[in-house]
């Protein structure tokens, strides 16, 4: 199994955090956010990982290389895009780079692609097995939401998971099951060779493949999914892990989490907060907040994200 992680987005909704670090490497419990995805793919059997980059590309690449070295992960390959290629073009270029380095994929080999800015850890091995058993050229990993048509649903048949409609705004098939795309795909070589050179992978890829008769399937998972798209959601995700509402490998629930090298002065009061690697907290109160690595906190912080440049982002 080969893997590709999307890391080239601009992260505009997460500003001002993404003015300092691109979204795939904002810190999350001591790791860059996309590092959790890379680790999950590695545990699932990925033998190579390509990551596309664009916004603050050097910082993405440095942070993820350091993380891979620290966790003994597989060597990472980066596909830097001077101009954004879109999800379809970015995926095609990453796959071409991978094949140039490792040789062409075998007929039964797959590439798993996933957004690098989400918290999502489904059973990848089971999804890949289902993809192969169905003889699929591509499989979209889906999740149930209350109204999938509001954002454009993927409809699949209930008996064999075949995709019958893409980005549907209303039900198009009486027995179709409507769900939302998670940002994870499983692709065989037949689909990869048909990827567009640029543009959206759904509009320029999947819709055309469906019309051409390729076998496109959907696999619904109940695994927790979260897009950390805004400062408030980003902060809340930390609180959910601390409270035990969301599990995270290696992180135990508690009233606080301290990164390596964090210095806490006597008299400090830290409640429901995460203190990043190498941060320093004076004799102050930090409540329901996230303190980034290297930040210095010398005044009370409540419901905020403390950045290392001195800014406090309220949430």
pTM over 0.85: yes
- Position 37 scores a pLDDT of 93
| Domain ranges (residues) in the chain | 2-227, 231-314
What pLDDT was estimated at residue 174? 73
Q: Quick one: pLDDT band at residue 172, thresholds 50, 70, 90? A: confident
At residue 68, the pLDDT reads 84
What is the chain's mean pLDDT, rounded? 92
- For the ranges 74-78, 140-144, 302-306, 307-311, the lowest mean pLDDT is seen at 74-78
Write out pLDDT tens, residues 278-290: 999 999 999 999 9
The per-residue pLDDT for range 177-198, each reduced to its tens digit, is 999 999 999 999 999 999 999 9
Tokens of 308: 């290392």
Which range has the top average pLDDT, 14-28, 164-178, 286-300?
286-300
CATH of 2-227, one of 3.50.50.60, 3.40.250.10, 2.60.40.10, 3.90.550.10: 3.90.550.10
State the average pLDDT over residues 28-45: 93
């Amino acid at each position: 199994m080969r893997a590709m992680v999307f890391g080239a987005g601009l992260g505009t909704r997460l500003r001002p955090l993404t003015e300092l670090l691109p979204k795939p490497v904002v810190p999350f419990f001591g790791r860059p956010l996309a590092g959790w995805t890379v680790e999950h793919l590695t545990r699932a059997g990925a033998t190579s990982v390509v990551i596309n980059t664009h916004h603050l590309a050097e910082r993405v690449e440095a942070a993820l290389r350091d993380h891979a070295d620290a966790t003994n992960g597989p060597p990472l390959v980066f596909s830097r895009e001077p101009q954004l290629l879109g999800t379809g073009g970015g995926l095609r270029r990453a796959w071409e780079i991978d094949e140039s380095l490792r040789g062409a994929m075998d007929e039964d080999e797959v590439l798993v692609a996933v957004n690098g800015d989400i918290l999502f850890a489904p059973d990848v091995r089971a999804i890949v097995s289902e993809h192969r058993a169905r003889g699929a050229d591509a499989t979209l990993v889906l999740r149930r939401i209350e109204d999938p048509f509001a954002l454009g649903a993927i409809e699949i048949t209930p008996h064999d998971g075949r995709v019958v409609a893409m980005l549907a705004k209303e039900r198009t098939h009486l027995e179709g099951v409507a769900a939302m795309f998670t940002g994870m795909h499983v692709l065989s070589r037949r689909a990869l060779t048909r990827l567009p050179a640029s543009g959206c992978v759904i509009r320029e890829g999947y819709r055309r493949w469906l019309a051409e008769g390729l076998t496109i399937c959907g696999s619904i998972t109940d695994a927790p999914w979260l897009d950390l798209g805004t400062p408030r959601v980003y902060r809340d995700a930390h609180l959910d892990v601390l409270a035990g509402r969301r599990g995270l490998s290696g992180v135990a629930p508690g009233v606080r989490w301290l990164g390596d090298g964090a210095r806490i002065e006597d008299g400090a009061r830290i409640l429901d907060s995460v203190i990043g690697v190498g941060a320093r907290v004076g004799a102050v109160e930090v409540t329901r907040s996230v303190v980034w690595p290297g930040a210095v906190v010398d005044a009370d912080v409540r419901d905020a994200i403390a950045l290392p440049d001195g800014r406090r982002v309220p949430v």
